Chain A
Amino acid sequence: GAVVSQHPSRVICKSGTSVKIECRSLDFQATTMFWYRQFPKQSLMLMATSNEGSKATYEQGVEKDKFLINHASLTLSTLTVTSAHPEDSSFYICSAHRGQYEQYFGPGTRLTVT
């Protein structure tokens, strides 16, 4: 149990286009999901907390107009990188909150902006 999927696993897009990444909890409902960004050889940086049915809460320094988050159902959160630029290239990981303390992570999405 506690499986989280992400789609796509890899995406290459041109500068200026938008990319949507989906995060799904497959066998449990998650009112809260989280989006992280990870640079090579570095730790995970929390970008935002996605709450079902309400606006996402963004961490300081994260542009909410650039990284649009929608949590439309208890099993799906999406991250849209708008007007992507090469500096947005990164590994994006989502997690879903379950129980009192635990987060279960998706496999990640490698975004490359050319």
Chain B
Amino acid sequence: AQSVTQLGSHVSVSEGALVLLRCNYSSSVPPYLFWYVQYPNQGLQLLLKYTSAATLVKGINGFEAEFKKSETSFHLTKPSAHMSDAAEYFCAVSERGKLIFGQGTELSVKP
């Protein structure tokens, strides 16, 4: 069975600082990986996805993630945090069409 682990349930950065949210996966087959963002009391919005094409994936709102097979990682980054980036972020892996989610990382952005 596939799984994802998000390191750090809460990350706090200053506005303008680098955002790094960590995700490691476990999969016996080439994975399809996703990052979603959730704002309070809302559904999930797809930020970006990796589907075995380019290893560096660019998403919406300035986010990007790099698939590293050797490290089984798919970390999410953004060069400069904005206050509006404060939200919950979920990494997920697709298994036979189902999404398996990580535990989530809450991102706080300090002014």
Task: List which A35-90 residues lie within 8 A (CB) of chain B.
Answer: 42-44, 46, 49
Contact across chains for B90 and A46 when beta carbons are under 8 A apart: no
Task: List which B17-72 residues lie within 8 A (CB) of chain A.
Answer: 32, 34, 36, 41-46, 49, 51
Contact across chains for A107 and B97 when beta carbons are under 8 A apart: no
Q: How many residue pairs, one in A and one in B, have C-beta atoms under 8 Å apart?
A: 49
Which chain B residue shows the least CB distance to A107? B43
For the complex, give the distance between the alpha carbons of A103 and B36 in Å: 10
Residues of B within 8 A of A103 (CB): 99
Q: A43-B104, A101-B49, A101-B51 are in contact. Are A106 and B43 (CB under 8 A)?
A: yes
Any chain A CB within 8 A of the CB of B77?
no
Separation in Å of the A25 CB from the closest CB of chain B?
A: 13
Return 14 A-B CB contacts under 8 Å, by A number: A4-B43, A6-B43, A32-B97, A34-B98, A43-B104, A44-B101, A93-B43, A93-B44, A95-B43, A101-B34, A102-B46, A105-B43, A105-B45, A108-B42
Q: A43-B90, A97-B97, A101-B51 are in contact. List 19 more A-B contacts (CB 8 A).
A: A6-B43, A32-B97, A43-B103, A44-B44, A44-B90, A46-B99, A49-B98, A91-B41, A95-B44, A95-B99, A101-B49, A101-B94, A102-B46, A103-B99, A104-B46, A105-B43, A105-B44, A105-B45, A108-B41
Q: Using a CB–CB distance below 8 Å, which chain B residues touch chain A?
A: 32, 34, 36, 41-46, 49, 51, 90, 94, 97-99, 101-104
